[in-house]
Amino acid sequence: MDEPEPQDLKDRTSDFALRVIRMYTRLPKTTEAQVIGKQVLRSGTSIGAQYREGHRAKSNADLISKFEGVLQELEETDYWLNLLVLAEIVPADKMASLIQETNELIAIFVSIVTKIKARAKKQ
């Protein structure tokens, strides 16, 4: 898989945040749905912000730290999305596309962090 260009990831992480926001607004107004929904809203919308922060990194170590933060938020988002399905708050078919995008972004950022770490070791 080719590594996406920065503008592609900038747009993709923004689009992801918008999808998370739209998903949250469609959740039932039950306590459980709202509590879990707010968790996924927080983690899912912070991914793009942290990605952008990474572009201001002062060193490879700083960049790795920022992008590992992105990965932490993606993993957390994946957890909450899956919990919405497991708790039968949202049907699996309605969540499948968003969970797939979460996992694709995880794979992309794992690849990026791995490449940066390899590059840093060579320096």
Domain positions in the chain:
6-118
Range list of H helices, the chain: 6-25, 31-54, 60-86, 92-122
In this prediction, residue 1 carries a pLDDT of 41
In this prediction, residue 119 carries a pLDDT of 87
Residue at 46: amino acid letter: S
Query: How far is the C-alpha of 101 from the C-alpha of 19, rounded, in Å?
Result: 10
What is the Cβ-side half-sphere exposure of residue 91, based on CA atoms within 13 angstroms? Answer: 2
Query: How far is the C-alpha of 13 from the C-alpha of 39, rounded, in Å?
Result: 17
Give per-residue pLDDT as tens, 108-123: 999 999 999 998 888 7
Instruction: Quickly tell me which residue has 């991914």 as its tokens.
Output: 47
The predicted model scores a pTM of: 0.91
User: Homologous superfamily of 6-118 in CATH?
Assistant: 23S rRNA-intervening sequence (1.20.1440.60)
Which residues of the chain are under the pLDDT cut of 70? 1-6
